[in-house]
Structures are given as C-alpha cells and as structure tokens.
Amino acid sequence: MSAAAGTAAVLAEAEAALARAGVASPAADALSLLAHAWERDEARVRRARLFDEDVPADIGRRFANLCARRGERVPLQHLTGIAHFRLLALPVGPGVFVPRPETELVAQAGLDALAERRARSGAGSGPARVLDLCTGSGALGLALAVEAPGTSAVGVEIDAQAAAWAGRSVAAAGDLLAASGSRFRVVLGDAGDAERVAGICAAELGGSPHVVVSNPPYVLADGSTCEPEVIGHDPRPALWGGGADGLAVPARVIAAAAAVLAPGGVLVLEHADVQGAAVRTLMAGAGLTGAETRSDYTGRDRFTLATRC
C-alpha cells in the first residue's frame, strides 16, 4: 500500500486475505493488528472505520506486514506481544504458551473455591494460599492473586524460558498485585515431583495450598486437533502430555497436587474434551473426592475439579 487509504477498505481487504489463509477469526484479528500498527485502541479504529478515516501510508505498510505474518499463521498475540487473560495483559512471545480464553474458566473455578473457603471459615480463615502447577506465562496463578485480595500464590514451571516470561508477567501486573495486596512468585521445578512441590509450598506459601490450579500439557499423541499456530509456535513442553492418551504429565501433576493440598482444598485441572472420565479416575485414585467435569464456552468437557477430604 503506497498511499493513504480508507480504514473500511483496508480492513475489508485484510479480513479477506486472512480468511483465505485459514485464520479462524479474520475480522477480529485484522482489527487488533490495525490497532497495534496504528498504536490506537480498538475502539478508535472502529470509529475510524465508521467515519472512513484515511489510514496513513506508513501505518498501512506496517499493517500489511503484520497481516502477511498472521497469514503465515504466526499467532496474533506474538504479533501484538500481548495476551489478554481475565484482568491481565500478559507479555508473550516465542518460548511461552499463549494463554487461551477457555482457561479463564479454570481461573473462575479456582476463585469460586477460594470464595467458598472464605464463606465457610469466616474472617479468621487467614490469607489464601494458591499453587499453579505448570504455570507457563503465570496466567492462572496471577489471575487468582490479582482477583482474590491478600492471596499468596506460587507458580511452578519446568522450562526456564517460559519461567522468564512469567517473571515479565509479574512485572507487568505489578499495579494490580499491589492493589490486591497479593503476591505471586515463580519457581523453576517439575510440577510432577511431589517432594519438590511440597518444598516449594513450604518455602513460598508457608503451608499447604487451599487451591491448586493447573493447565498442564495434555495434547494426545496424534496431535490431530492442533492448528498451525499451535504446532509452529507454542513450545513443545507446553503441548504433549505424554503417552497415547496425553495423560502422563497430568497424572503426575494430579498426584503431586493431591499430596500437597490442605484438607478441604480443591484441585482444578484443564484437559482435552476426551479426557474427562480418565481425569476423574486419576483424581479418585490420588485420594481426591467429588471429581466433577465442567465444560468450556462451546459446551465441551474441558476441566475437572475435586476436593481433598
């Protein structure tokens, strides 16, 4: 694009190109990328489309480059550098798993469990303790820390590059953490090593967690459901769960969580839609009770929660 062109036409052309490339949400992505290229929020870009304001030529060129890369199926969030997750704007890029919208429901289930604990135990219940196993960007642990005031939270991550991104997330969420009076730390470690996880809880939380949240790697061996954005850009350790059923890592995480949870504490674990029954069996085998699988925004079984007696 060499000269200025109207916003409506620029967006329509980009949307069509992204759709041809197989991008799942071409209109939303085109809007986000133009906002990013123009350094405006999306509401201002929508306004520019409504009044068909001209897109300056240099912004148009930047936008065209971004759209070309999106057409090659680079994840949107790698291009904008930000993933929105509940109240958080998390810095993301190569080396860290991009948090997904459905995982926000895992966070909500964890927050509900914390609220029930407060309601049960009253004001004298003391600060909540939260453990996020396989924390990646820190999305889950940080969301609970920010939304449940006075919480002590820790995330465990095996991959040093991902843990470094989680450290950037903590810095980016500094104001929200300060406002909530909560803390969130990230520790390198194997979330399936129960002894190591117990040591992390003692050192970082000062006791057993009341809630454990986890979105472990769980993709099945055939990987048939994976989009190019996932296969080409999400880190390998974030994807494959191990074993034909993808549950080797989740099984170890469930066992470690069950071993450290406080009595009455709740584990909330994300999984693939075909894994609900097997996850409930794993949770029962680890001594957790009342395992219940819940669905995501599209009605598919996507996470299971259970309680330690």
Ligand X SMILES: C[S@@+](CC[C@H](N)C(=O)[O-])C[C@H]1O[C@@H](n2cnc3c(N)ncnc32)[C@H](O)[C@@H]1O
Q: Are strands 183-188 and 152-157 parallel, antiparallel or unpaired?
A: parallel
Nearer of residues 217 and 276 to ligand X, judged by Cβ: 217
- For ligand X, the nearest residue by Cβ is 136
Q: What are phi and psi of 150, to 5 degrees?
A: 75, 20
Select 15 or 234, whichever has its Cβ closest to ligand X: 234
Minimum distance between the CB of residue 247 and ligand X, rounded to whole angstroms? 13
The least distance separating ligand X from the CB of residue 134, rounded to whole angstroms, comes to 3
Distance separating alpha carbons of residues 159 and 83, to the nearest angstrom: 19
Instruction: Quote the least distance from Cβ 147 to ligand X, whole Å.
Output: 15
Cβ atoms of residues 185 and 142 within 8 Å: no
Q: How far is the C-alpha of 54 from the C-alpha of 8, rounded, in Å?
A: 9
What is the bridge-based pairing of β-strands 82-85 and 152-157?
unpaired
Residues in the site for ligand X, rule: CB under 6 A?
97, 99, 103, 134-137, 139-140, 156-159, 162, 190-192, 215-217, 235, 237-238, 249
Q: In the complex with ligand X, which residue's Cβ is closer, 7 or 103?
A: 103
Residue closer to ligand X by CB (options 134, 283) is 134
Please name the residues in contact with 72: beta carbons below 8 A apart, sequence gap of 6 or more: 21
Q: Which is nearer to ligand X, 237 or 264 (by Cβ)?
A: 237
Q: Which residues of 60-78 are buried (b: 16+ CB within 10 A; e: fewer)?
A: bebbbebbeebbebbbbbb
Residue closer to ligand X (CB basis): 156 or 220? 156
Shortest reach from residue 307's CB to ligand X, in Å: 21
DSSP 65: H
Report, in Å, the least distance between residue 140 CB and ligand X.
5
Q: Is 184 helix (H, G, I), strand (E, B) or coil?
A: strand
Measured from the CB atom, the residue of 248 and 291 that comes closer to ligand X is 248
Minimum CB separation of residue 189 from ligand X in Å reads 7
> Shortest Cβ distance from residue 9 to ligand X (Å)?
36
Largest CA distance in the chain: 67
- Which residue, 196, 254, 246, 194, is CA-closest to 225? 246
- Tokens found for residue 32: 């986000």
| CA 40 – CA 62 distance, rounded (Å) | 14
Question: By C-beta, is 35 or 90 nearer to ligand X?
Answer: 90
Phi, psi (degrees; rounded to nearest 5) at 214: -155, 135
Under 8 Å between Cβ of 183 and 150: no
Smallest separation (angstroms) from ligand X to the CB of 261: 17
Contact between residue 197 and residue 156 where contact means Cβ atoms under 8 Å apart:
yes
